[in-house]
């Protein structure tokens, strides 16, 4: 009997394997500490150059933003691309922290080196809140021409969408900062003890007297749990609000119960992609090969693959109901949002979000390579961007006076981005990336304490003829 069991273990291993890859070696705690703290200083000049470039780009974005406000204020159709980029940033960077939160709850060991970067992405909500201002102000009121338009706020006060957008944004910023802080406390203490200059002073302030006592660790876990949950619920709410108030309810006749979920699913997909690209860059430019292994890429790659398929599923769920239903509003959905003015954008989105990553990531060899996973992630990001353009630009192009129709019968034409739109979009992305890069100057891009725990809880061991890893699961 005993031998049976052992054979099973062997068979498990072989079943998965094509090319065996070496189990990652454990890293000495002191080395890990000094190397990870050093990343906050690493590549000083290169980072400075990039920061300048990104800073200028974001400044250009903000300036063209101001110009656009000056000339095109109040013209709803002109703000479609701004809405699209806001939705995209929300989806991509806002979804990333979930990559940290969910596996942490499931006690997955692989996520530990990745969690910090994923959480830092949520800082982008600060950038988004600036870009959201014109959108919130240009959103039609609930009562248009004396009659109430369709919205999820039903009989609510006239400015409900506007107020809730502000509330949701504020909560998101608070919860993302809270999450980063709660999770970063031991690392702030590390900066306090091992950093220099202003970082040391900042670490001293932010660590709130962290000494690593049992009580502090327990409190910290509780805080992470609370902040993580808060972030998750804010995330869900914000997708619900964004997808309905800023897209669906602007198009008369578009009644699509799955749309908020679809929005959130593609957001998590994009969040995974951002995380992959982030750790890929960290590995390549910050020399963190010792800490970021195939294990991380493989696990995220697998999730990315799963969410790619889920995207297809959620899309089909909506599509088949409209396509088969053939009622007036059903036909409108297909004619306007798919076959209509943004047909080629839609084709591009489907190819990039779903079809190509599907057949790319299904290949185990790809998921077992750093570059392959990163390419898949890049495709997905581009696809999600196109998808947001398709949905939001179309929704914002519907003239306000037609909002009371039962469903749209004539569709507005394609809206192309003008120079300002492009600059605003580039600026928004630049500002987001810049913010994350700046954050990694304060906190190590890989969390020191989590990397240490990863090493503690993981042992490569020999098991009969094969090598396996032993992973601790503390309660």
Partner 1 sequence: MQQRRTIDQIHTNRVLLNGQLDTPKWWAPTVITLGIIVAIGFFLIGIMVNKGLGVTGLSRPVYWGLFITTFVFWVGISHAGIMISAILRLSQAEWRRPVTRAAELLTVFSLLTALMFPLMHAGRPWRIIYYIVPYDFARGIMPNVRSPLIWDPVAISTYLTGSTLFLYIALLPDLGNLRDRTTGWQKAFYTILALGWRGNPRQWKLQTVGGILLSALMLPIFVSVHSIVSWDFAVTPAVEGWHSTIFAPYFVIGAVHSGVSAVVTMMALMRWLWKWEDFIRPEHFDALARLLIVVATGWLAFTFLELIFAVYGLDAPEIELRDMQIFQWPWNLLFVVFVFTGYIIPVGMWLQKSVRNNIALMFWSSLFVNIGMWLERFMIIVPGLARKTPFVYTWEAYRPSGLEWFILFWSLAWVTFLMLLFSRFFPLVPLFEQKESQTFGDSIKIGRARVPAIVREAD
Partner 2 sequence: MTLQREKRDYSWGMVVDVDKCTGCQACVLACQAENNVPLNLQDRFERARAMQWIRVERYWEGEFPDIKARFIPIMCQHCENAPCEPVCPVFATYHNNEGLNVQVYNRCVGTRYCANGCPYIVRFFNYWEPVWPEAFRNHLNPDVTVRSRGIMEKCSFCVQRIRRGVRNAERDGRKVQDGEIQTACTQACPTDALVFGNFNDKDSRVSKMKDDDRHYTLLPHLATDPNVVYLAQIDTDRSAGSSHG
If contact means CB under 5 to 8 A according to the sort of partner, which of partner 1, partner 2, none does residue 11 touch? partner 1
Which residue from 331, 369, 453, 466 is in contact with partner 2, where contact means CB under 8 A?
331
**Does the footprint of partner 2 cover residue 328 (CB under 8 A)?**
yes
C-beta of 4 vs 30, nearer to partner 1: 4
Residues that bind partner 1 (CB under 8 A): 1-17, 20-21, 23, 150-152, 154, 236, 240, 255-261, 294-295, 298, 309, 313-314, 316-318, 320-322, 324-327, 330, 368, 456-457, 459-461, 463, 466-475
* CB 70, CB 64: distance < 8 Å: no
If contact means CB under 5 to 8 A according to the sort of partner, which of partner 1, partner 2, none does residue 232 touch? none
**Does the footprint of partner 2 cover residue 324 (CB under 8 A)?**
yes
C-beta of 217 vs 407, nearer to partner 2: 407
H/E element, 277: helix 259-285
C-beta of 141 vs 309, nearer to partner 1: 309
CB atoms within 10 A of CB 41: 12
The residue range among 237-245, 322-330, 334-342, 372-380 that interacts with partner 2, by the rule CB under 8 A, is 322-330
Torsion angle defined by CA atoms of residues 59, 61, 67 and 71, in that order, rounded to the nearest 10 degrees: -170
C-beta of 188 vs 346, nearer to partner 1: 346
* CB 242, CB 339: distance < 8 Å: no
* CB 198, CB 210: distance < 8 Å: no
C-beta of 204 vs 331, nearer to partner 2: 331
Separation between Cα atoms, residue 83 and residue 411, nearest integer Å: 19
Selection from 373, 234, 370 nearest residue 303 by Cα: 373
Separation between Cα atoms, residue 170 and residue 92, nearest integer Å: 18
Binding-site size, partner 2 (CB under 8 A) = 9
**Does the footprint of partner 2 cover residue 326 (CB under 8 A)?**
yes
| Sequence-separated (6 or more) residues with CB below 8 Å from residue 110 | 103, 295, 296, 299
C-beta of 129 vs 329, nearer to partner 1: 329
Please provide residue 156's backbone torsions phi and psi, each rounded to the nearest 5 degrees. Answer: -65, 170
Structure tokens at 375: 């390419």
C-beta of 204 vs 329, nearer to partner 2: 329
If contact means CB under 5 to 8 A according to the sort of partner, which of partner 1, partner 2, none does residue 4 touch? partner 1
How many Cα atoms sit within 13 Å of 108 on the Cβ side? 17
Query: Smallest distance, Å, CB 278 to partner 1?
Result: 21
If contact means CB under 5 to 8 A according to the sort of partner, which of partner 1, partner 2, none does residue 281 touch? none
Query: Smallest distance, Å, CB 69 to partner 1?
Result: 32
Separation between Cα atoms, residue 22 and residue 386, nearest integer Å: 39
Residues in the chain: 475
Residues from 381 through 420 that contact partner 2 (CB under 8 A): 406-407
If contact means CB under 5 to 8 A according to the sort of partner, which of partner 2, partner 1, none does residue 331 touch? partner 2
* CB 83, CB 113: distance < 8 Å: no
- C-alpha dist (Å) from residue 363 to 155, 297, 329, 384: 51, 14, 40, 21
Residues that bind partner 2 (CB under 8 A): 324, 326-331, 406-407
């Amino acid at each position: 009997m005993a031998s049976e069991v052992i054979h099973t273990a062997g068979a498990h291993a072989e079943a998965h394997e094509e090319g065996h890859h070496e189990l990652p070696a454990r890293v000495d705690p002191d080395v890990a500490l000094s190397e990870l703290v050093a990343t906050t200083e690493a590549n000083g000049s290169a980072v400075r150059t990039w920061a300048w470039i990104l800073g200028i780009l974001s400044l250009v974005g903000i300036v063209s933003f101001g110009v656009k406000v000056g000339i095109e204020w109040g013209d709803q159709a002109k703000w479609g691309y701004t809405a699209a980029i806001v939705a995209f940033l929300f989806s991509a960077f806002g979804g990333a922290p979930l990559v940290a939160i969910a596996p942490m709850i499931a006690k997955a060991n692989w996520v530990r080196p990745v969690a910090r970067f994923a959480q830092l992405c949520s800082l982008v909500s600060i950038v988004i809140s600036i870009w959201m201002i014109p959108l919130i102000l240009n959103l039609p009121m609930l009562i248009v021409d004396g009659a109430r338009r369709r919205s999820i706020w039903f009989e609510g006060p006239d400015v409900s969408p506007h107020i809730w957008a502000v509330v949701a944004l504020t909560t998101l910023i608070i919860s993302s900062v809270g999450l980063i802080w709660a999770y970063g406390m031991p690392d702030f203490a590390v900066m306090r003890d091992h950093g220099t200059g202003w970082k040391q002073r900042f670490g001293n302030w932010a660590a709130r007297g962290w000494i690593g006592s049992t009580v502090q660790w327990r409190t910290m876990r509780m805080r992470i749990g609370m902040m993580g949950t808060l972030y998750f619920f804010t995330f869900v709410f914000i997708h619900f609000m964004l997808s309905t108030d800023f897209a669906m309810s602007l198009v008369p006749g578009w009644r699509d119960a799955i749309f908020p979920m679809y929005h959130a699913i593609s957001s998590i997909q994009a969040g995974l992609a951002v995380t992959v690209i982030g750790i890929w860059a960290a590995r390549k430019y910050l020399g963190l090969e010792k800490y970021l292994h195939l294990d991380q890429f493989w696990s995220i790659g697998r999730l990315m693959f799963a969410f790619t398929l889920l995207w297809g599923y959620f899309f089909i769920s909506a599509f088949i109901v409209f396509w088969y239903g053939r009622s007036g509003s059903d036909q409108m959905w297909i004619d306007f949002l798919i076959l209509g003015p943004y047909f080629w954008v839609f084709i591009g989105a489907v190819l990039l979000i779903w079809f190509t990553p599907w057949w790319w990531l299904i290949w185990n060899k790809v998921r077992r390579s750093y570059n392959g996973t990163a390419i898949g992630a890049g495709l997905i990001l581009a696809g999600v961007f196109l998808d947001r353009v398709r949905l939001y630009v179309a929704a914002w192009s519907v003239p306000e006076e037609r909002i009371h129709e039962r469903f749209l019968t004539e569709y507005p034409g394609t809206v192309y981005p003008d120079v300002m739109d492009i600059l605003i979009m580039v600026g928004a992305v630049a500002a987001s990336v810049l913010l994350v890069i700046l954050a990694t100057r304060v906190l190590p891009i890989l969390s020191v304490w989590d990397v240490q725990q990863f090493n503690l809880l993981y042992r490569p061991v020999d098991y009969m003829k094969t090598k396996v890893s032993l992973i601790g699961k503390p309660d």
